[in-house]
Structure 1
Amino acid sequence: MSGSENARDLELLAGVARNDRKAIALLYQRHHLRLYRYLLRFVKSEAVAEELVNETFIDVWRAADRFEGRSQVSSWIISIGRNKAISLLRKRSDAELDDDYASGLEDDSDTPEVTTLKQDKAAALRVCINKLSDEHREVIDLVYYQEKAIKEIAVILEVPENTVKTRVFHARKKLSEHMRKAGLDRGWP
């Protein structure tokens, strides 16, 4: 996220702190989809992810005036959502698993053959990612899907930056091993 985008988020958050409903609507509009996708990969349930997004933005509404600026606003929001998801998963050991959700998504610009190849490779990649430990799977998600920097991931996970670097290193190494065993190259069809 660029500095100007974070500056805009800071302006919106200041508006939220003043109980500006338009500001929370705009902040929600800017971040709900990315948060939803992150939480969906985390909890593996569309309904639960949507509920967590709503609860997260309620907390953003309530805590906007306490934002300390130690991270980007987007990282703060993801951190709130992540903590809610962890709490929920601790309470609900029977959380639904939906590993096939993303495999049904299709890119309209591709031919059917390319779409099938991508779906097959994406499904195989998901299988490899799911073989990783929870810690490794989470850093892969934050680095590659959420496009967060090491510093931001450290804030989200509440661990030192060097711990994040170590987890990313080992996660990449393990993922590469799983991909090699599955016969996957690193290229995309």
Structure 2
Amino acid sequence: MDTHADGEIIRRIAGGDKAAMMTLYQRHHLRVFRFLVRMVRNEATAEELVSDVFLDVWRQAGTFEGRSSATTWLLGVARFKALSHLRRRTTAPLDDAFAETLEDDADDPEVVAQKTDKAAIMRACLGRLSLEHREVIDLVYYHEQGVDEVARVLGIPANTVKTRLFHARKRLAGLLAEAGVDRGWP
């Protein structure tokens, strides 16, 4: 994607250009959605947050200064939305009647097959990382952001990104080893 073109699109959005907004949405909504799903761990919530992100983009396009790429800016807005959602989320107590209707799928053959699937094991191990480590891994490996861009998205120093990345990799390697996955992937 052309980052210069994205900057121009955002300037057009700031001027009220709805077609430019659709273009930006089409270019970036999937990336933003995937980032949000990994943060909030719920597709429906992520879809709602994507709408909120792009609504904020429409309202705040004039504040985009172009010091970072549009992707970095969008992921920064998405991260803020996800963290806000996670802070206000409350856990409702589990109703006993509802709990009795839940099936125990611990020994289900499908679950056993998923445990042998390396990709499923990787996702499970990623899910066990702290939010800070998951964010860094997600941005670097899934969104192909550099250390400086990750620092801008997260609002932390680049050296902190490097430190988190180091510890995230180390923790992930340990989790994968516990799960019986070697470093080699087919």
Question: TM-score higher than 0.5 here?
Answer: yes
Instruction: State the match for 2:32 in structure 1.
Output: 35
Shift of 1:46: 1.3
Is 1:76 matched with 2:73?
A: yes
- Runs of 5+ consecutive residues of structure 1 not aligned to the other structure: 96-115
- Runs of 5+ consecutive residues of structure 2 not aligned to the other structure: 93-112
Shift of 1:20: 0.5
CA distance in structure 2 between the partners assigned to 1:91 and 1:36 by the alignment: 20
CA distance in structure 2 between the partners assigned to 1:71 and 1:119 by the alignment: 41
> How big is the alpha-carbon RMSD for the aligned residues of Structure 1 and Structure 2?
1.8
CA distance in structure 2 between the partners assigned to 1:177 and 1:79 by the alignment: 29
1:150-182 deviations in Å (ceiling 9; x for gaps): 001101111000000000011111111111221
What is the total number of aligned residue pairs between the two structures? 166
What is the TM-score with the length of structure 1 in the denominator?
A: 0.82
Report if the CA contact (8 A) 1:140-1:171 is conserved: yes
Shift of 1:59: 0.6
Instruction: State the match for 1:163 in structure 2.
Output: 160
Percent identity between matched residues is: 54
Say which SS state the counterpart of residue 12 (structure 1) adopts.
Answer: helix
Instruction: State the match for 1:105 in structure 2.
Output: none
Report if the CA contact (8 A) 2:115-2:121 is conserved: no
Instruction: State the match for 2:100 in structure 1.
Output: none
What is the TM-score with the length of structure 2 in the denominator?
A: 0.84
Report if the CA contact (8 A) 2:36-2:78 is conserved: yes
Amino acid across the alignment from 2:20 = A
- Kindly name which structure, 1 or 2, has the bigger radius of gyration based on alpha carbons: 2
Is 1:179 matched with 2:176?
A: yes
CA distance in structure 1 between the partners assigned to 2:9 and 2:91 by the alignment: 37
Following TM superposition, the consecutive aligned residue runs of length 4 or more in structure 1 with deviations greater than 4 angstroms are 116-119
1:33-59 deviations in Å (ceiling 9; x for gaps): 010011011111111111110110111
